[in-house]
Structure 1
């Protein structure tokens, strides 16, 4: 995680000075003058989170400069290849964005569908009390 944290934290060193230079060259154009340094703040927040996370977890094979490819072999996570819930979440997102153009009632319908699909996706592999 240390490499990822450094990558995002170096973004601050790029976006904030570029935002200042943009503000000077554009005579204070409001969107870019505010937006570019805000992107620096956003990458700073992500980099800070990754730096805190890197302190809490053990070093990964990717963090070792002398690491070999085979050190990272094995399972990388649990994925559900036959799940239909990501499709339902995508449909809900499409309804929300279409609702912005067509009508607010469609936004509400998409939000309800998205909430049901997201909860179902999260609890798909649950056992015990929350199994379905």
Structure 2
């Protein structure tokens, strides 16, 4: 049997995953990051994107996250998401609503330059995620 580690995906609403896995691909802020057993300890921020989980059983499942943090240690990985769902439960319309809300917030103005830059980056990430899900 391949080496495994414990993976947990937690959102404020619920614990989505708490399983033994062989690999997890997370949307780290600087790009996709593959977590394997015995990974060096890392803590990273997560951008909106897909998390791909390969379970010890051989099954692969995808989840959509909307930001958060991942804490990776040799024995496991915990992803604390601002919001998360199984990818099959997210529709393009759900994402479009988030995109529209981000656009409205940008257009409201009265933002400090740094906050506006973060909002624009968030909008860009949501738009990319929308394209990935529509293409799937």
Structure with greater proportional helix content = 1
Larger radius of gyration: 1
Structure with the bigger percentage of strand: 2
